[in-house]
A and B are shown apart, each in its own frame.
Chain A
Amino acid sequence: MKHISFFVLFILSLFARSQTCDIVLKGHVCDDDNHESLGFAFVKLLNDNRLIQTNEKGEFEFSGLCKGKYSILVQHVGCRDTVFEFDLNKSKKISFHLPHNLNSLQDVEVVEKKSDEKVPQTMQTLDAKQLDKVKGQSLGEQLKQMNGVTTFNTGSTISKPMINGMQGYRVLILNNGIRQEGQQWGNEHAPEIDPFIAQKLSVVRGASAVRYGSDAIGGVVLVEPNNLPDTASLTGEFNSVGYTNGRGGVGSLFLEGNFDKLPGFRWRVQGTVKRSGNIKTPDYYLDNTGVEETNFSYALGYHRKKFGVDVYYSQFNSNIGIFSGAHIGNLTDLYAAFNSSKPEDSLAVFSYEIKRPYQNTEHELVKAALHIHTSQRSRIYVNYAWQYNIRQEFDKHVPKGSAQYDANKPELDYRIGTQTAEVYWEHDYIKSFRGKFGAQGLLQKNVYLGRFFIPNYMNQSYGIFAIERFVRSRIEVEAGLRLDNKDLQSYYYIGNVLQSPQLNFQNLSYNLGAIYKPLSFMKFNLNLANGWRAPAVNELYSDGLHHGVAAIERGDKNLKTEYCLNAIGGVVIDHKKFRAEATAYAYEFENYIYYNPSNQPELTIRGAFPVFNYTQNNASIRGGDMLLNYQPIKHLEVKARAMWVRGRNKDLNIPLIYMPSDRYETSIAFKFGDIKLFKESYLEPTFQFIDKQYRVPVNSDFVAAPDAYYLFGLNAGTTIQLNKQPLILTFSINNAANSVYRDYLDRFRYYNDAPGVNYTLRLRVPFVLYDKH
């Protein structure tokens, strides 16, 4: 409560005077000698490292700038790289005259990354500022900030991102450019990624198989760190987060630098520690819901003018307690849990202890990347990555009997090792075309050491692709083609007979998309693509009791490839005080694979268990969402979001199971600008309404979908500027009214209420130990 009164005081003190960051800088780049416009020059805003390219007429634009000093680096073929410095008080247009190259002695590559790539699918990004509001939450929860993204949860500590109503195999996560390869088969298996690695989180919605690889049907999540520093410096950032529900804390630190004496070398070290204890619903603690996470990563790069080499290593380790009241025996226990208003373990008290049942996961990633500039406008990239994922699940209690039994041994123990390699050539503007061509390969081995649930397998796949894009100032058209081949050999026993079926899948993917800007403040995007997905091993061969979810799951070895045709279109209007985004999409699936609950529970010695069969049908998923943002006066910003998803099994003419229900969100931000030491302060109450999921297949669930609910929340933040040292403070309240609710897409809704009120305080301290400039 103390920090609330502090914030109220603090906020009142801010009302005196303020300012917003809505300055637009329009620029024009031309040759210093002949005053010719320089098209496709790189322009980097050094204040926040935003990188864009000028259009054919040499024009560019940066918006959302605050008053202050700015430096801009401009680069163009044949010209000297030049930094321009200037002050900005209001929106204006500036001409930048670029001198010719005078035998620059500096042999250090400056532009190592092309400007942000646009995609014709709908794409959204959370930058460092937006991430400030959600730091400390799981990756899935952070992504929920974006339109069309929800999560599929197992309690409040495990969440998988869901894009356009799809999750798991249909959502691809690229961690620092590498496909995350973990154990995707469980709904209770969250992505093994430290969200603090990311300085930027992006989501590409819509089928994106050509660019990112088959499977990317629902969409792609991009987790991207910043580029390594390219000037001699030693800088870093410290993040700390404390929250009341779970009495959790997170600390994260990174240091990065570039050597004066060894030009070209650059590095970063990063680490995160997280601890939290039992979560509290409004009425009771949830026993054994603590989380421990220890993650670290290193990056080292060596860049010269013609090439660059980067190596990266990261390790993710987590222990996640599973609410013991949810690790139930059989159907009788399950119904007892549903029918009691409180879980059996509701007498629990607060504790950090993680007992059985729990999950232990480790994920290691080694990446080596090389790029060579084949010309000023083209590059070759060679990337290799090795990943090793360990997933151990410890049941509620050890099996009885075996005297030799090791109590520290997990019941479920999966190891998956993946090697990926890719080579591609990318070119910038040749006439008005830019594009890339390349090949990718993957070799994967999966092994179980504990109880059998999914088979061992070897997966070898490769793909070749080509994307070309025609760029004009108002329109961009993209076409892509990709051929994939996948061999999957599985090894498992039926009785005492070893089975080793081999399957081969080969398919062509394509996409055709366009971005059209009829007016400076209006943008349309449209993409048509197909996608396909080979059935995964668990969908083919699983046969047994999945203890984590207390269900018998049965694969079907005759499943066929899932195909989809997807159209996604959007419009963005960004006009002065008003911003609107709207997206609509449709997927038409052939052989959509899903988890089909059977009406017939199956007998085991432990009693009856519900049975789920992997089945396929023709299906469709359609939806839309929108965002409105209006800033009537400098100090006020109103936001509203809405999303709708509809899934239909076309063969049976029934709704698809586990689709997100309709959601509506609104917030009002009061902005106080800069007052003395406090910069860019804001206070933002939020309101969410999540409707009941009315569209569920009949008799398919153990209990009816939970009722609609609404949540109140609050975000507040400020930057305290002590001399040159900024301290970025944010404060959030989630479920401020401490409402009792359960969410349809939370597996634990069968057993317990969702978490109650949570207060979070965050501090981010970027620091500079040394900077040559």
Chain B
Amino acid sequence: MKTVFKLSTIILTAMLFVCASCKKKKNTPEPTNPIPPNESELITTFKLLLTDSATNATTTYMFKDPDGDGGVTPYYGPGTTTTSSQTDSVVNLLANKTYYGQIILLDETKSPVDSISNAVNDEGKHHMFFYNNGMNTILSSSNPYAVQLNGSNIKVTYTDLDAGSTQRGIGLLTKWRTNASTGSVKNKLVITLRHQPDSKDGTFTPGETDIEVSFKIVVN
């Protein structure tokens, strides 16, 4: 009986100590001071730069969501319209030409503006851009990775490489070869950045989508 009493006392004393050692709360701020939005990392701006190899003239096509998901409706550039404009989402190329393509990703909520494309390049072995139009043919899945956008008759060849053990293209830098004019037909162009941590194998399937931007494309 005495031992039982002792045991009970020990358990109770132990309780007090264990309770005192409960997980400490991190400093929780008062509700009156919410964290300003967008302190965390964000991709606000997608830019596709296409440079005519003959004239060195560069045209920028842009998709911009200045405050991230929700809130203000995103829009296509280069204009600064606040409503999404169909004309701004059309990529105009000339027939039988070579263009150099570059993708730039920005977080414009930061000052100075943060370049996310550098980060994608640094983590290139976990990322890959895909240029799709719903009916493309993969011409080469080894280096250099190349895809034929059927309908538009454009061949897109990747000109960059990641730092993985099997080096693969990332798709930030590309070369575009156009063929015959497609007239006024606007074909689809979907550019997708897949995040494929430790699973990048040159195919679209693994991982999940970080970016998906759709344009229309016309070759004249």
Contacts and interface: CB of A to CB of B under 8 A. Distances in A.
Interface of A: 234, 255, 257, 259-261, 267, 269, 296, 298, 300, 313, 315, 317, 327-330, 332-333, 344, 362, 364, 388, 396-397, 399-402, 405, 411, 415, 417, 445-452, 455-458, 491-496, 498, 500, 543-545, 552, 554, 603-609, 769-770
B37 A332 contact: no
A492 B210 CA distance: 26
Given A313-B19, A397-B195, A491-B32, A452 B37 contact: yes
B188 to A, nearest CB: 12
Given A452-B35, A552-B69, A315 B11 contact: no
Contact of B212 (A257, A259, A500, A607): A607
B71 interface: yes
A473 to B, nearest CB: 44
7 contacts: A234-B4, A267-B12, A452-B35, A491-B32, A493-B34, A605-B43, A607-B209
Interface string B18-53: 110011011011111111110011111110000000
B4 A328 contact: no
Nearest to B107: A401
Interface string B179-220: 000000000000010010100000001101111111000000
A260 B12 contact: no
B41 A605 contact: no
B138 interface: no
Nearest to A446: B31
B28 A415 contact: yes
A51 B212 CA distance: 64
A318 to B, nearest CB: 13
A450 B1 CA distance: 54
Cβ-closest 8 pairs across A and B: A607-B212, A329-B209, A399-B41, A456-B31, A401-B119, A544-B70, A545-B69, A329-B208
Given A491-B31, A495-B67, A260 B1 contact: yes
B71 A543 contact: yes
B63 interface: yes
Contacts of A491: 31-34
**B interface: dominant SS:** loop
B7 A552 contact: no
A765 to B, nearest CB: 18
A219 to B, nearest CB: 30
Contact of A411 (B1, B4, B40, B71): B40
Contacts of B40: 399, 411, 450-451
Interface in B125-171: none
Contacts of A604: 65, 68-69, 74
Contacts of B120: 400
Contacts of A445: 30-31
A445 B29 CA distance: 10
B106 to A, nearest CB: 10
Given A415-B28, A491-B32, A605-B65, A396 B208 contact: yes
Nearest to A331: B212
B107 to A, nearest CB: 7
A261 to B, nearest CB: 6
A269 B69 contact: no
B84 interface: yes
Given A269-B15, A417-B28, A401 B41 contact: yes
B8 interface: yes
Contact of B34 (A388, A417, A498): A498
Contacts of A261: 5
Contact of B119 (A400, A458, A545): A400
Contacts of A364: 22
Contact of B211 (A448, A452, A606): A606
B8 A259 contact: yes
B213 A605 contact: yes
A234 B7 contact: yes
B123 interface: yes
A491 B37 CA distance: 12
B114 interface: yes
Contacts of B71: 494, 543-544
A493 B211 contact: no
A449 B12 contact: no
B22 to A, nearest CB: 6
A535 to B, nearest CB: 18
A242 to B, nearest CB: 27
B95 interface: no
B70 A545 contact: yes
B29 A300 contact: no
Among B7, B15, B34, B44, residue most surrounded by chain A Cβ atoms (within 10 Å)? B34
Contacts of A554: 70
Given A330-B209, A344-B205, A448 B15 contact: no
A320 B45 CA distance: 34
